[in-house]
């Protein structure tokens, strides 16, 4: 047997024993008891050990990975995992280049959800602990540490890809119609029946605070801004006064934000504001904002704000209902939709669901309002809850398409599949290019 074949045989044997359980007539042993570690790849100057490949496979097994029973399938699986690890190291190198940071608190919720999913496979905590020990993971605490490390690395990779996109460094990729059709043929075997769906566009009329309430909110926001300029604690004032209760509980913290998420007035100020500077008052459809940027990194800022929303009362609600009735009458009479949106629509609400939504997944208000409405017909005016104010908004929707339960078709999915394939091919080409730039050597 040649040295190369002998080495491959040893690798397969180690995989069978360490990663996949018992071999014929042999007792599986924990990784630490067997001396098989060696370098199986190098990314730049970073070596990847064989034990890392086995650890990744075992970690995937704990989350349900099915391992091939034959040695050829097992070595193919190991090479596939090695390729994934190499790609991760390439992206982590890019994250370092762009000075991207991810900490444990950033992934804590994701890790806890994952751990809960693994624990749910066992009836008792003792069974869970015994399984971890048997598979070489040690204690639940050690397993959690590994899960945190893995989640941080995954998030670094995601952010690295986002940064490559933002900087225009993703390689272009074309997708043929044949590739789309083949992908759909593979996918449709796994698809459940398509549920009944409805597509619609709408105009939502929100109650607007009267002038006196707006003036009062502006005055309060301005007084808070002056306190902050004088050195008051942003966290404390946000918790006490901000009407954005979600961020107020975190001292106004909005976490990391990218462009295209916030309303334009807020976003322009957030990305223009120097770090630790208190913004002037920013008025949006939600009220008056005071913004402070805490940290900046490529294409993202971490900011906090205080929102003061003008108070709305039952009189404002009644006025909004009258406006909604008038708007529906104009729509019925043939007034162009875009004109109605510009005049009446609350920009904090979606204008349309053009691709359709399963009827069963809609909020109850929409299920009832749209239930018997034919295509191109309007609903009556109906109420939707506004959690921010505690009052209702008033909506009128026009059904633009409706489909009964049935099988998915290529036409319904081809654009989505094309986008996905194009992105996958683009990322793959980019990773291949980066591998050549960074120097990658595979030795398995």
Same domain, 76 and 217: no
Q: Is residue 332 part of a domain?
A: yes
Same domain, 202 and 221: no
Q: CB–CB of 375/399 below 8 Å?
A: yes
Same domain, 319 and 371: yes
Q: Give the CATH number, domain containing residue 128.
A: 1.10.4030.10
Q: Give the CATH number, domain containing residue 230.
A: 3.10.50.40
Report residue 398's pLDDT band, with 50, 70 and 90 as the boundaries: very high
Domain that holds residue 160: 3-169
Distances (CA, A) of 190 to 139, 180, 186: 37, 16, 8
Distance between CA 324 and CA 314 in Å, rounded? Answer: 15
Between residues 12 and 230, which one has the greater pLDDT? 230
Q: Is residue 442 part of a domain?
A: no
Same domain, 336 and 219: no
Can you spell out the DSSP letters for 161-211? HHHHHHTT-SPP----HHHHHHHHHHHHTTPPPBPPEEEEEEEEE-----H
Nearest to 217 by CA among 51, 389, 428, 403: 389
Between residues 73 and 32, which one has the greater pLDDT? 73
Same domain, 220 and 366: no
pTM of the shown model: 0.52
pLDDT number for residue 36: 56
Nearest to 9 by CA among 87, 92, 71, 89: 71
Q: CB–CB of 288/269 below 8 Å?
A: no
Q: Is 356 helix (H, G, I), strand (E, B) or coil?
A: strand
Q: Is residue 431 part of a domain?
A: no
Nearest to 260 by CA among 275, 249, 250, 271: 271
Between residues 28 and 347, which one has the greater pLDDT? 347
- Neighbour count for residue 71 (Cβ, 10 Å): 17
Q: Which residue has the tokens 């205080």?
A: 306
Q: CB–CB of 19/58 below 8 Å?
A: yes
Domain count, the chain: 3
Q: Is residue 215 part of a domain?
A: yes
Same domain, 24 and 160: yes
Report residue 420's pLDDT band, with 50, 70 and 90 as the boundaries: very high
Q: Which residues, 6 or more positions from 346, have their beta carbon under 8 angstroms from its beta carbon?
A: 204, 205, 206, 285, 393
Over residues 256-274, the pLDDT tens digits come to 999 988 999 999 999 999 9
Report residue 248's pLDDT band, with 50, 70 and 90 as the boundaries: very high
Distance between CA 135 and CA 207 in Å, rounded? Answer: 59
Q: CB–CB of 360/159 below 8 Å?
A: no
Nearest to 291 by CA among 234, 346, 214: 234
Task: Give the strand pairing for 392-403 and 197-205.
Answer: antiparallel
Structure tokens at 128: 């869970």
Can you spell out the DSSP letters for 36-70? ---EEEEETTEEEEHHHHHHHHHHHHTTTPPPPSS
Distance between CA 148 and CA 32 in Å, rounded? Answer: 22
Q: Which residues, 6 or more positions from 363, have their beta carbon under 8 angstroms from its beta carbon?
A: 384
Does the pLDDT value for residue 18 go beyond 70? no
Distance between CA 325 and CA 314 in Å, rounded? Answer: 17
Side-chain half-sphere exposure of 195, counting CA atoms within 13 A: 10
Q: Which residue has the tokens 């009189």?
A: 315
Same domain, 53 and 90: yes
Over residues 35-78, the pLDDT tens digits come to 457 899 999 888 999 999 998 898 788 778 888 999 899 999 99
Mean pLDDT of 1-11: 35
Same domain, 290 and 389: no
Report residue 299's pLDDT band, with 50, 70 and 90 as the boundaries: confident
pLDDT number for residue 388: 66
Q: Is residue 410 part of a domain?
A: no
Same domain, 204 and 243: no
Same domain, 285 and 324: no
Nearest to 358 by CA among 245, 198, 247: 198
Q: Is residue 79 part of a domain?
A: yes
Q: CB–CB of 287/208 below 8 Å?
A: no
Mean pLDDT of 164-190: 91
* Residue after which a domain boundary falls, among 252, 280, 308: 308
Between residues 81 and 192, which one has the greater pLDDT? 81
Report residue 20's pLDDT band, with 50, 70 and 90 as the boundaries: very low
Q: Is residue 265 part of a domain?
A: yes
Same domain, 292 and 348: no
Distance between CA 158 and CA 154 in Å, rounded? Answer: 6
Same domain, 7 and 37: yes
pLDDT number for residue 22: 39
Side by side, which strands form the sheet with 300-308? Answer: 253-257, 300-308, 287-297, 282-284
Q: Is residue 123 part of a domain?
A: yes
């Amino acid at each position: 047997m040649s040295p190369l074949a002998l080495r491959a045989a040893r690798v397969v044997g180690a995989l069978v024993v360490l990663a996949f359980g018992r071999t014929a007539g042999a007792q599986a042993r924990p990784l630490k008891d067997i001396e098989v570690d060696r370098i199986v790849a190098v990314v730049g100057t970073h070596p990847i050990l064989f034990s890392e490949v086995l650890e990744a496979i075992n970690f995937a097994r704990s989350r349900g990975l099915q391992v091939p029973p034959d040695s050829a399938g097992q070595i193919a699986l190991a090479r596939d995992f090695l390729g994934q690890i190499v790609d991760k190291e390439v992206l982590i190198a890019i994250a370092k280049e762009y000075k991207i940071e991810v900490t444990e608190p950033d992934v804590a919720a994701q890790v806890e959800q994952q751990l809960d999913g693994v624990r749910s496979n066992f009836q008792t905590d003792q069974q869970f602990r015994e399984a971890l020990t048997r598979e070489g993971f040690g204690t639940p605490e050690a397993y959690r540490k590994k899960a945190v490390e893995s989640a941080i690395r995954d998030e670094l990779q995601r952010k690295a890809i986002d940064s490559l996109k933002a900087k225009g460094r993703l390689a272009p990729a074309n997708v043929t119609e044949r590739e789309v059709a083949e992908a759909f043929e593979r996918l449709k075997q796994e698809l459940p029946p398509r549920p009944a769906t409805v597509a619609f566009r709408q105009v939502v009329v929100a109650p607007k605070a009267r002038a006196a309430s707006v003036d009062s909110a502006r005055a309060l926001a301005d007084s808070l801004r002056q306190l902050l300029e004088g050195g008051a604690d942003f966290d404390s004032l946000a918790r006490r006064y901000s009407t954005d209760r979600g961020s107020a509980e975190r001292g106004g913290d909005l976490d990391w934000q990218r462009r295209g998420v916030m309303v334009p007035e807020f976003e322009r100020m957030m990305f223009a504001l120097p770090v630790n500077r208190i913004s002037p008052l920013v008025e949006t459809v939600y009220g008056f904002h005071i913004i402070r940027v805490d940290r900046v990194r490529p294409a993202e800022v971490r900011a906090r704000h205080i929102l003061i929303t003008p108070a709305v009362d039952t009189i404002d609600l009644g006025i909004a209902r009258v406006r909604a009735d008038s708007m529906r009458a104009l729509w019925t009479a043939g007034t162009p939709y875009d004109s109605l949106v510009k005049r009446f629509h609350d920009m904090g609400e979606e204008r349309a669901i053009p691709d359709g939504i399963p009827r069963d997944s809609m909020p109850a208000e929409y299920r009832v309002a749209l239930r018997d409405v034919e295509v191109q017909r309007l609903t009556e005016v109906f109420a939707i809850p506004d959690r921010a104010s505690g009052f209702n908004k008033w909506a009128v929707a026009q059904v633009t398409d409706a489909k009964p339960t049935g099988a998915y078709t290529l036409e319904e999915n081809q654009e989505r599949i094309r986008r996905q394939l194009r992105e996958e091919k683009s990322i793959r080409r980019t990773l291949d290019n980066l591998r050549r730039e960074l120097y990658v050597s595979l030795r398995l």
